[in-house]
């Protein structure tokens, strides 16, 4: 046995066999692909939840074991992407309980997202009223900031499939805006600013940075399809409030993930294919790729000065951030810091001093010092590579890194199926020549192939060092088999002590990606909607009824448990019918549903909320509408009739 009582490679145990199998097959598989680099309440006011205890996890009794007893609340919200479901999911931490699924780029029959007029307007429709997109692929969720920590106002998530970004309101935890980003494909990395760099009095998020992963012709025309010189990638800056695209920067390479500095001066994205190749062999010719740093203030000054161009029909100003155009540090908009080939993931430490860029195909993580990058921009540093202060070897397949409040980093190792804990200052000391510095502090096995990993409050200056969540892509043998498609495994790890301790597993429907763990006092939600917020609300009984203008019919309904008013209305086949429903109940958690037989209509309305839907009845007859959301002892009796005349 090893000193920490874990099996050594010489011991014949099931875990050892598992480890040898995973390592050998992973390495052989990649080597076969030619990648030998591996060897190297009822009120409408916000209702705040009580702040969690500030004690280490080991001192919080049941919560330290990942257990939240009946009647107790979780200490954190975990906001997670839903992958190709197109949604965002909310779990409680440490329990792992599913609290909410927020429909964003998908259609959700329970809530009516993608069915109601209000949601279709947000998603976007074609001239005939049909949805422009019915799918999405969410990857990264991040929240708005005030002075380096979450303020709970907004959350943003990307759609890699259709190159859109959505904003979620923190008070209702519902999507309120979706935009489509021009000139890009493979929109992947996303991160809000933590502080405005121009005006020091602004301590809240004003921008969101969006990195594109795929090269596309600029402009994207068929005539450019074979002209690889026209291909490129763009970083996009979006205004946090208006959700308008501010500007774009053309760069070398394919952008992956994004991080922003705490002083608001830099945005960083790890980039592969800095060769700008279009086929695999061309993408692998350079010895290194890069972590690209964007000087936000200089870019905005260039945009203001008109040193831009536009692409195709887009009116968005674009500046040149390619390496060749930014060789002079004193005027450069971008800085390309060389890192090992095909990096994955870049994260900034809670103290704002260092960026950690994971190697993926190299068993290393690259530590880049923030103030040294700034010195390069000021002409005080000879080479961008001089900003690298450590490059520790931590294991096979490093992907994502989270941080505690004690100077430690936690990196997921996809090929080793582990999470490794390592110390940043020790890594720097080792890089400087202290070969006795013990960089790696601990390792823990996870089940299996961890991708994304993140710590509690780890993307803020208030990182607390209590939990790390490992999102694992494979879960074979972990849960009851349900056919070929397995659920994925989210494993919560206690990181409060010297040794990491696995607390529990919870399942996630495929395929989540990144997430954030937010202390519960940071999110203050409303429990009741405000009727006055809707201009079409049916506010009184005398407003309920049917109005006809030609073949356009408006049906105004009210719901008060256990009845709809009116409980009957008549339309004609082929009419354009708009139903407006306002829920007049004021009791927290009392939603009503509206399902209309044979019309493909189903949605819910919360207390004091109004939603509407427009459709055309295609056949004559009697069609019941009923409450789909259990609301009252007489819930089954809550219904009415739509009579359609031929």
**CA 460 to each of CA 210, 403, 479, 516: distance values in angstroms, whole numbers, following the listed order:** 19, 10, 34, 10
State residue 59 phi and psi, 5-degree precision. Answer: -105, 0
Closest C-alpha to 212, from 188, 231, 230, 191: 188
In this structure, are strands 515-519 and 545-549 parallel, antiparallel, or unpaired? Answer: unpaired
How far is 243 from 443, CA to CA, in rounded Å? 42
pLDDT of res. 484: 95
> Which residues of 479-638 form beta strands (DSSP E)?
488-494, 501-508, 515-519, 545-549, 552-560, 563-565, 568-572, 576-583, 592-596, 601-605, 610-615, 621-626
Q: What is the mean pLDDT of residues 617-640?
A: 96
Is residue 217 pLDDT above 50, yes or no? yes
pLDDT computed for residue 327 by the predictor: 95
Cα maximum dimension of the chain: 87
Contacts of 544 (CB under 8 A, 6+ apart): 538, 556, 557, 558, 565, 566
| pLDDT higher than 50, residue 29 | no
Sorting pLDDT into bands at 50, 70 and 90, what band is 64? low
For 175-216, how does the pLDDT look when each residue is reduced to its tens digit (9 = 90+)? 999 999 999 999 999 999 998 877 778 889 999 999 999 999
**Section 32-58 average pLDDT:** 39
Among 135-139, 280-284, 608-612, the range scoring the smallest mean pLDDT is 280-284
Long-range contacts of 17-26 (CB under 8 A, 24+ apart): 18/417, 19/416, 19/417, 19/445, 22/415, 22/416, 22/417, 22/448, 22/449, 23/396, 23/415, 23/416, 26/396, 26/397, 26/415
482 Ramachandran zone, left/alpha/beta (phi>0; psi -120 to 50): alpha
pLDDT at position 5, please? Answer: 37
Q: What is the pTM of this model?
A: 0.91
Taking residues 14-42, what's their average pLDDT?
A: 40
pLDDT tens across 299-326, in order? 999 999 999 999 999 999 999 999 999 9
For 120, the enclosing helix (H) or strand (E) is: helix 117-123
Q: Which two tokens stand for residue 626?
A: 């009923």
* H or E stretch at 428: helix 424-431
**Residue 37 or 272, more confident:** 272
The pLDDT confidence band at residue 63, using thresholds 50, 70 and 90, is low
Q: What is the pLDDT of residue 357?
A: 98
Query: What are 455's strand-pairing partners?
Result: 468
Q: Which domains does the chain have, with CATH numbers?
A: 1-34 (no CATH), 531-645 (2.60.40.420)
Phi, psi dihedral angles at 427 (to 5 degrees): -65, -40
pLDDT at 37 over 80: no
Strand partners, 177: 167
Q: Is the pLDDT of residue 61 over 50?
A: no
Q: Is the pLDDT of residue 333 over 90?
A: yes
Task: Please determine, for residue 294, whether its predicted confidence score (pLDDT) is greater than 50.
Answer: yes
Q: Rounded to whole angstroms, how far apart are CA atoms 525 and 565?
A: 30
pLDDT of residue 292: 98
By the 8 A CB rule, do 83 and 473 touch? no
Q: What is the tally of helices (H) and strands (E) in the chain?
A: 6, 40
């Amino acid at each position: 046995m090893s000193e920490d009582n874990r099996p050594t490679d010489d011991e014949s145990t099931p875990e050892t066999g598992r480890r040898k199998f995973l390592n050998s097959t992973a390495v052989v598989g990649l080597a076969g692909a030619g990648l030998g680099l591996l060897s190297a309440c009822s009120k409408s006011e916000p209702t705040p939840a009580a702040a969690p205890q500030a004690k280490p996890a080991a001192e919080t009794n049941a919560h330290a074991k990942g257990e939240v007893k009946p009647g107790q609340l979780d200490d954190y919200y975990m906001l997670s992407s839903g992958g190709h479901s197109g949604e965002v999911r909310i779990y409680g931490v440490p329990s792992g309980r599913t609290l909410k699924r927020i429909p964003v780029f998908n259609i959700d029959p329970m809530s009516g997202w993608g069915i109601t007029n209000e949601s279709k307007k947000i998603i976007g429709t074609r001239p005939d009223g049909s949805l422009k997109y019915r799918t999405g692929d969410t990857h990264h969720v991040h929240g708005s900031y005030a002075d380096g920590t979450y303020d709970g106002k907004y959350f943003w998530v990307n759609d890699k499939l259709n190159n859109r970004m959505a904003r979620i309101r923190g008070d209702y935890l519902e999507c309120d805006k979706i935009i489509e980003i021009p000139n890009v494909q493979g929109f992947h990395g996303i991160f809000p600013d933590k502080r405005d760099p121009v005006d020091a009095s602004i301590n809240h998020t004003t921008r969101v940075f969006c990195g594109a992963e795929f090269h596309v012709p600029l402009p994207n025309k068929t005539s450019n399809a074979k002209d690889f010189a026209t291909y490129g990638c763009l970083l996009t800056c979006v205004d946090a409030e208006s959700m308008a695209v501010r500007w774009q920067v053309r760069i070398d390479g394919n952008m992956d993930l994004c991080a922003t500095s705490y002083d608001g001066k830099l945005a960083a994205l790890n980039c592969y294919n800095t060769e700008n190749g279009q086929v695999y062999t061309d993408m692998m010719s350079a010895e290194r790729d890069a972590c690209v740093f964007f000087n936000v203030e200089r870019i905005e000054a260039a945009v203001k000065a008109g040193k831009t161009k536009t692409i195709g029909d887009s009116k968005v100003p674009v500046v040149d951030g390619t390496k060749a155009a930014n060789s002079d540090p004193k005027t450069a908009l971008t800085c390309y810091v060389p890192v090992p080939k095909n990096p994955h993931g870049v994260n900034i430490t809670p103290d704002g001093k260092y960026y950690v860029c994971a190697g993926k195909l190299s068993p290393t993580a690259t530590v880049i010092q923030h103030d040294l990058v700034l010195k390069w921009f000021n002409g005080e540093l000879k080479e961008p590579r001089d900003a690298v202060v450590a490059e520790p070897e931590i294991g096979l397949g490093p992907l994502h890194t989270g941080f505690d409040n004690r100077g430690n980093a936690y990196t997921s190792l996809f090929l080793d199926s582990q999470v490794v804990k390592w110390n940043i200052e020790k890594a720097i000391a080792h890089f400087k020549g202290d070969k006795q510095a013990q960089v790696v502090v601990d390792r823990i096995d996870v089940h299996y192939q961890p991708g994304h990993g993140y710590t509690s409050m780890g993307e803020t200056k208030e990182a607390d060092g209590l939990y790390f969540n490992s999102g694992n892509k494979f879960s074979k043998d972990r849960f009851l088999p349900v056919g070929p498609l397995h659920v994925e495994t989210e494993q919560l790890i206690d990181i409060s002590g010297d040794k990491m301790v696995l607390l529990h597993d919870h399942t996630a429907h495929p395929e989540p990606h990144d997430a954030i763990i937010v202390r519960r006092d940071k999110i203050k939600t409303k429990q009741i909607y405000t009727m006055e917020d809707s201009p079409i609300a049916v506010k009184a009984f005398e407003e309920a009824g049917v109005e006809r203008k030609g073949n356009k019919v408006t049906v105004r309904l009210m719901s008060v448990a256990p009845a709809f008013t009116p409980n009957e209305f008549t339309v004609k086949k082929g009419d354009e019918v708009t139903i407006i429903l306002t829920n007049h109940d004021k009791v927290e958690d009392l939603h009503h549903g509206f399902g209309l037989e044979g019309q493909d209509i189903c949605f819910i309305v919360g207390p004091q909320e109004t939603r509407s839907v427009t459709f055309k009845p295609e056949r004559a007859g009697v069609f019941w509408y009923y409450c789909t959301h259990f609301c009252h002892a007489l819930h089954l009796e809550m219904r009415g009739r739509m009579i359609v005349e031929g």
